Amino acid sequence: MKPLIAGNWKMNGLASSIAEIHALIDEFSGAAPDDRDVVICPPATLVATFAAEFSDEAIQIGGQDCHPAQSGAHTGDISAEMLADAGAAFVIVGHSERRADHGETDATVRAKADAALRAGLTPIICVGETEEQRKAGQALAVVGAQLAGSLPETADPFVVAYEPVWAIGTGLTPTTDDIAEMHDFIRAKTPAGMRILYGGSVKPANAAEILAIDNVDGALVGGASLKAADFHPIVMAAPGER
Ligand code: PGA
C-alpha cells in the first residue's frame, strides 16, 4: 500500500501560509515523491487557492469537515460537493475535536463519510479512545464501537485514522506495541485495501519508528504539519510502498 501522510492544519493558516507549502515543495526539490501520498488539509478558507496552486505538484488538498447534505439551509456549513468543487480530494471526518466540540456522534460521522464518497472525495475517518478509556482497558472496545458506527458500507476507498484523544497535541504517544495492537485490530474490522493512519503527536523524532509498525499505512499530523521543516522529514520517514 502507498503510504499517506496528511497534515491537519486545524484552525491555523492565513493566505500567507502558502509559503510553507512552497517551502515543502522546495524541500522535495520540485514535487512530492510519487511513492507516497501527501495531503494538506488547510482551513476551508484556503482550500480553493491551495488546490489551484498545487494541482501539478503531487500535493493533494483536503477539507477538515463536511456537512452530510449536498446543499441547503445550514448556515456556516460546507458540503462535500463544495470541497470537491474547490479542488479538494480528501476530507477529514469525525476528528475528536469535532466529536467533542460539536457533539458529533458515530452516525453523524458515517453520514459525513457517505457524503464525501458521494462527492468523489476520500474520507479520512477518525477514531480513538480517551485517556480514561485506555486506563480502564476499554481502548479496543471503544474504537471497535466507533468503527462499527462510523465506517461507510462501500467498496470505494476510504482511510481510517487512529488518533488516541490523549495523544493529540500533548507530546504523548502510545507504545509501539499499543499502536501495533490497535492497528491490527482496525485492520481486522476494515475492508481490505483501506489505509490506516496513526495520528497524535507525530513529530520528526518519532515518525520513522511509528511509520515502520505493521499496519500503519501513514500518519495524520497536526502541529508538526504547519512548518515545512517539521513536515518534510515526517513525509520522508514513511517507508515506500509495501
Ligand atoms: P497533533 O494532532 O499531531 O498536533 O497531535 C493530530 C491531529 O489532531 O490530527
- Which of 177, 149, 174 lies closest to 162, judged by CA? 174
pLDDT score of 176: 98
pLDDT score of 58: 85
What is the Rg, in whole angstroms, of the alpha carbon atoms belonging to the chain? 17
Which atom of ligand 1 approaches the CA of 202 most closely?
A: 3
Give the span between the Cα atoms of 125 and 227, in whole angstroms: 24
- How distant, in Å, are the alpha carbons of 63, 128, 220 from that of 9? 10, 19, 10
Per the confidence metrics, is the pTM higher than 0.75? yes
Average pLDDT on 195-221 reads: 98
With 90 as the cut, is the pLDDT of residue 107 above it? yes
pLDDT score of 32: 81
SS3 235: helix
pLDDT score of 4: 98
Q: How far is the CA of 72 from the centre of ligand 1 (A)?
A: 31
pLDDT score of 57: 81
Asked if 74 is an active-site residue, the reply is no
pLDDT score of 165: 98
For 4-8+36-218, give the CATH class: alpha beta
Q: How far is the CA of 97 from the centre of ligand 1 (A)?
A: 10
Q: What is the pLDDT of residues 34-71, one digit of tens each?
A: 899 999 999 999 999 999 999 888 899 999 999 999 99
Query: What does the domain layout of the chain look like in residue ranges?
Result: 4-8+36-218
With 80 as the cut, is the pLDDT of residue 30 above it? no
Residues 69-88: b if buried by 16+ CB within 10 A, e if exposed = eeeeeeeeebbbbbbbebbb
Band of pLDDT at residue 29, cut at 50, 70 and 90 = confident
Band of pLDDT at residue 163, cut at 50, 70 and 90 = very high
Q: What is the pLDDT of residues 143-158, one digit of tens each?
A: 999 999 999 999 899 9
pLDDT score of 125: 98
Where does ligand 1 bind, in terms of residues with CB under 6 Å?
A: 8, 163, 168-169, 199-202, 220-224
pLDDT score of 55: 86
Polymer length of the chain: 242
pLDDT score of 56: 83
Asked if 232 is an active-site residue, the reply is no
Point out the catalytic residue in the list 81, 97, 163, 232: 163
Q: How far is the CA of 58 from the centre of ligand 1 (A)?
A: 23
Band of pLDDT at residue 20, cut at 50, 70 and 90 = very high
Residue scoring higher pLDDT (57 or 81): 81
